[in-house]
Amino acid sequence: MALCPPRYPRPSRRSAGRGRPRGTARSRRTCPYRRPQNSGPGTPMLTLMWLIAVGSQPVLSAPSCSGLAAQYRSGQTFLAWSESPGLTGVCFQVRLSPEPITAANWAASTVVGDQIGPASATDWWLNPETYGKPIEPGPDGRKVLPEPQGWLLEEGGVRLNPGGGLFVHTVTAETTGPRYFAVRGLNIESGAWLDEPVLGVNSLAEPVGQSVAPVEPIWQGEPGARPDLSAGEGLPLDLVLHAKTGRGGMEWLVFGSADLGWRDGLPFKFGAQVRGGSVVLAPTDRTWIGRPLLEDRDECQRLTPAIHTFWFGYNDRIFDPAQMPAGRVVNFTERRMLWLLEWTQRTFGADPNRVYCTGSSMGGCGTMSFAFRHPELFAACSANVPIVAYDKGPGGDSEFRVAAYTGGLDAACEDGTVRQRLDSTRFVSAAGTDLPFLVLAVGRNDTSIPWWKNPDFLRALDARRQGFLAAWNEGAHGEVEAQLPPDVRERMSLAWLHRFARNRSYLAFSSSSADDDPGNGDKTDGDPVGFMNRGLDFEVLTDEPDRYEARVYWYLDPAQLPVTVDVTPRRVQGMRWRPGETLTAVITGLETVQRDVTVDGLGLATITAVELRSSEGVRVELRKRL
C-alpha cells in the first residue's frame, strides 16, 4: 500500500484557445499531471499546481516518452509507451500519418489524441475515490489508497505499467489502412515540445494495419469466467442506472470512439450478465476529464478528475474551464448507453422488444432523460425520486446538478438548450407517439430533488393520455420508496414491468376519478400523499385488424368503487385507424353500453368515462364501423 500515490491529475492554472495550430505557439492548454509522491492529504493542492516556473521547460534526462508500441484489434489500435518519471506540467499528443512521422512531416500529420496526461496507463476505475466517496484518513491523518494498477487489455493478460502511457484510437473511414503513429510530450505553459519524433522511440518505424470493425469490450474478470452469452437468447434486457456516488458493474472495459466522449479513447466499464431470467446491463456514469471539477458545488465532483453527468452528457471542452463557454453540450453519456444497448443485444441475443430501465435518484433522472425519451427502444421504465425538469426557483434548485459540467442550463445542445432538453414535461407535451409505460414515485419533502416541478409533469402525462402510474408522499429523498404501499413497490420492480413489450398493446388510463391532487407545486398545496392511476389494471384480450378488446379492472378495496376513467389503447398492433375516423365502442360490465368514438388528431381512440362498479371490471371493445 502507498500513501497518497501520484494518481490525481490536476489542471494548469492557465488555459488556451483553440485558434492556434496545435504545437506551433504558446498553447497554455489544460492538461493533467500527477501529484508529487511526497504530497500528503493535508498539503494544499493549489501549492502543488506548479513545481516548475511559469513558462519554463522541464529538464529531462531522457525523452518524455519512448518504447512506443502498437497493436490493432477489433476496430481499434492500442498504443502504449514508457514515460520519464516525475513528469509535471506536461501532456501528450498522438498523431497519425500514412508515412513514418518525423520532425520534417510532423506538422502535416493528423492529431488523433490530445490532452493526454502522464501515467494514462493507470486504470483509474480501480481507485475507490473515483466514484465520489472520499477515503477517510487514518490515525496519522493520511489517506491510504491502493497501489495504482495499469489497464488490463487482454483477458488473462498482464496489466500495463501504471507509470506509462496508453491511447486507444478507434479506426474511422479516414484512418483505415496502414498507418504510422507518434507521441510527443508538450509543456503546457510554454507550448513547447519536449522532444522530437524519433523513429523507433516515440514514432513507429513500421505501420499498423487498420480497418473499421465492430469494437469489442475486454473481459476484466477471471479468465474463462465470462458469462455464457447464449444464455441470454430471447430474454428481456434490463438497464439498471445507479445513483450518485454509486457504480454499476466492472466486468467489462471498452475504450470509446471520438463520438462517445470529449476525445477519442476514453475508457468506461460496465456490467453485463444473465441474472434472474434477464440480461442485466449495469453501466457506470463516470467520465475522465483530466481535472477535478473544482467549480462544481457537489464535493464528489471535486475529488478526482472523473465526474458523473446525471446520465446525460457534458460540455465538449470540459477539459478546460476557460474554453467551456465556447463549447457545445453533447449527450456523450447517452451515446455510450446507446452503444452499450446495441452491443448487449447483439452479443447476448436479448429480445429487442423487451427492454426496460430502472433507477433511483440520479438513476431515476437518467431513466427520465434517457430511457423514457426512447420509445423505439424501451417498453417500460421505473423511476424513483427523479428530476423531471431542471430549474431553480422558490420550490428548490435542481439546476446545480448539471450546471458545472454543461456550462449552464441555457447552453446549447443537440435539442435546444440543456434546460429544454432535460425538461420531461416539455417532452411529454410535444410527444406524438406511444411512450414507454412509466411508474414513478416522488417526495414532497425531498430537498435533494425538489418536488415543485412534478405536478405539471404528472398533469402532462394525464392530458396526453400516456401510460403511467404515479405516487407521491411526504418522504424525504431517501424515504420515499420505503413509504410506498406494497402494490406500488411491486409495480416499480422490473419483474412487473416485464409484462410490457414494444410489440404488445397496453391500456393507458387518464382522468381517473380515483386520482389524488398533486397540487400546484407548493408543498402545502394538494394531497400530501397521493396516487394517479393506482388501483387500475388491464388485460388485452384481442388485437386484430377489425377488433380490439381488453378488460379493465380494479385491484384495490372495492369499497372505493365506483370509479370512472378514460381508456386509451396504446401500441396497437393489429387494428388500425386514422385521425377523424369514427369507431364503435362497446363497454360490457353489469350492463352493456355502446357509443361512438372519434379518433383524435394524434391518432388516439379514447373511450371516455368508463365506469367500474365491481372489482371484476368491464370489457371494452373497439370495432370498425361497417
Q: Say which DSSP state 123 is in.
A: -
Do 533 and 545 reside in the same domain of the chain?
Answer: no
pLDDT in tens, 97-126: 999 999 999 999 999 999 999 999 999 999
One-letter identity of residue 602: L
Neighbouring C-alpha atoms within 13 Å toward the C-beta of 582? 5
- The phi, psi pair for 92, rounded to 5°, reads -120, 150
ω into 386 cis (within 30 of 0): no
In a domain, 423, yes or no: yes
In 3D space, the residue among 552, 608, 544 whose CA is nearest the CA of residue 577 turns out to be 544
Point out the least confidently predicted range of 29-43, 182-196, 287-301, 458-472.
29-43
Residue 81 lies in a domain: yes
**What mean pLDDT, rounded, does the chain reach?**
90
What are the strands of the beta sheet with 65-73, ordered from one edge? 65-73, 76-83, 165-170
Three-state SS for 101-148 is CCCCCHHHCEEEEEEECCCCCECHHHCHHHHCCCCCCCCCCCCEECCC
**Would you say residue 223 lies in a domain?**
no
Q: Which of 53-57, 201-205, 568-572 has the least mean pLDDT? A: 53-57
CATH of the domain at 57: 2.60.40.10
Which of 121, 125, 72, 70 minimizes the C-alpha distance to 92?
121
| Residue 13 predicted with pLDDT over 70 | no
The Cα 406–Cα 384 span in angstroms is 24
Residue 155 domain-assigned (yes or no): no
Distance CA 248, CA 344 (A): 15
What is the pLDDT averaged over residues 299-315? 97
User: Residue 384 pairs with which residues in a beta bridge?
Assistant: 360, 441
**pLDDT tens-digit map of 195-218:** 999 999 999 999 999 999 999 999
pLDDT of residue 265: 98
Residues 396, 375: one domain?
Answer: yes
Determine the length of the chain.
626
* Per-residue model confidence (pLDDT) at position 224: 84
Q: Distances in Å between the alpha carbon of 472 and those of 327, 331, 361, 584? A: 38, 30, 14, 37
In this structure, the dihedral spanned by the alpha carbons of residues 609, 611, 615 and 621, taken in order and rounded to 10 degrees, is -70
Domain boundary among 507, 537, 567: 537
Q: Are 200 and 295 found together in one domain?
A: no
CATH number at residue 531: 3.40.50.1820
Distance, in Å, from the CA atom of 301 to the CA atom of 32, rounded to the nearest integer, reads 16
User: Grid coordinates in use for 211?
Assistant: 480497418
Q: Which three cell numbers stand for residue 117?
A: 496526461
- Which of 537, 560, 593 represents a domain boundary (last residue)? 537
Q: Confirm whether 135 is domain-assigned.
A: no
* CA distances in angstroms from 119 to 59, 82, 134, 164, listed in the order given: 18, 9, 22, 5
Whether residue 564 sits in one domain with residue 587? yes
Query: Are residues 293 and 302 in contact, defined by beta-carbon separation less than 8 angstroms?
Result: yes
At 19, which helix (H) or strand (E)? none
* Contact in structure between 375 and 432 (CB atoms under 8 Å): no
User: Side chain identity at 192, as an amino acid letter?
Assistant: A
Work out whether the CA dihedral 411, 264, 287, 238 comes out positive or negative: positive
What are the beta bridge partners of residue 568?
Answer: 508
Cell of 367: 431513466
Q: Give yes or no: residues 518 and 626 share one domain.
A: no
Residue 184 has pLDDT above 50, yes or no: yes
How many domains in the chain? Answer: 3
State the residue for C-alpha cell 450478465.
273
- The cell numbers describing 539, all together, are 388485460
Count CA atoms within 13 Å of residue 331 on its CB side: 19
- Name the DSSP letter for residue 245: T
Cell of residue 542, nine digits = 384481442
pLDDT of the residue at 279? 98
C-alpha–C-alpha distance, residues 281 and 279, integer Å: 7
Residue 454, phi then psi, degrees to nearest 5:
-70, -45
Q: Which of 264, 184, 204 lies closest to 23 in space, CA to CA?
A: 184
Same domain, 613 and 566: yes
Domain shared by 442 and 548, yes or no: no
- Which residue, among 227, 230, 233, 276, has the nearest Cα to 498 in the 3D structure? 276
Task: Give the domain CATH number at 577.
Answer: 2.60.120
Share of the chain above pLDDT 70, in %: 90
Is residue 171 domain-shared with residue 247, that is, in the same domain?
A: no
The pLDDT of 277-288, averaged and rounded, is: 98
pLDDT at 4: 29
Answer whether 370's CB lies under 8 Å from 357's CB.
yes
Nearest to 547 by CA among 569, 567, 574, 570: 574
Q: Are 211 and 174 a contacting pair, CB within 8 Å? A: no
pTM of the prediction?
A: 0.89
Please tell me whether residues 201 and 76 are part of one structural domain: yes
- Please name which of 550, 590, 592 lies closest in space to residue 567, comparing C-alpha atoms: 550
Neighbours of 46 (CB within 10 A): 10
Question: Which pairs from 154-162 meet CB under 8 Å and 24+ separation?
Answer: 154/218, 155/218, 155/219, 155/223, 155/226, 156/223, 156/224, 159/123, 160/80, 160/121, 161/82, 161/121, 162/7, 162/119, 162/121, 162/122, 162/123
Please tell me what DSSP assigns to residue 379: S
Residue 599 grid cell: 379518433
Q: Which domain holds residue 581?
A: 538-626
Helix, strand, coil content of the chain in percent (nearest 5): 15, 30, 55
Among 423, 458, 470, 445, CA closest to 522: 445
Helix H or strand E encompassing 190: none
Taking only the tens place, the pLDDT of each residue in 574-624 is 999 999 999 999 999 999 999 999 999 999 999 999 999 999 999 999 999
**What's the rounded Cα separation, in Å, for the pair 323 and 289?**
13
The domain boundary, picked from 509, 537, 565, lies at 537
Same-domain status, 506 and 479: yes
Flag whether 174 is in a domain. Answer: yes
Determine what percent of the chain is predicted with pLDDT higher than 90: 85
User: In this structure, are 558 and 526 located in the same domain?
Assistant: no
Secondary structure element (H or E) that encloses residue 340, with its range: helix 332-348
Is the pLDDT at 59 greater than 80? The verdict is no
Residue 205: Cβ-neighbour burial (10 angstroms; 0-12, 13-18, 19+)? exposed
Q: 62 falls in which pLDDT band (50, 70, 90)? A: low
Residue 118 class from Cβ within 10 Å (0-12 exposed, 13-18 middle, 19+ buried)? buried
User: How far apart, in whole angstroms, are the C-alpha atoms of residue 265 and residue 255?
Assistant: 5
For residue 27, what are the β-bridge partners? none
Contact indicator for 409, 417 with CB cutoff of 8 Å: yes
CA R_g for the chain = 28
Residues near 619 by beta carbon (within 8 Å), at least 6 away in sequence: 541, 549, 550, 551, 552, 586, 587, 588, 589
Q: Residue 425: in which H helix or E strand, if any?
A: helix 424-430
Is the model's pLDDT at 49 over the cut of 80?
A: no
Residue 413 sits in the same domain as residue 544: no
Could you tell me the CA-to-CA distances from 498 to 250, 353, 396, 488, 492 in Å, in that order? 25, 10, 35, 15, 11
The answer to the question of residue 154 being in a domain is no
139 domain-assigned: no
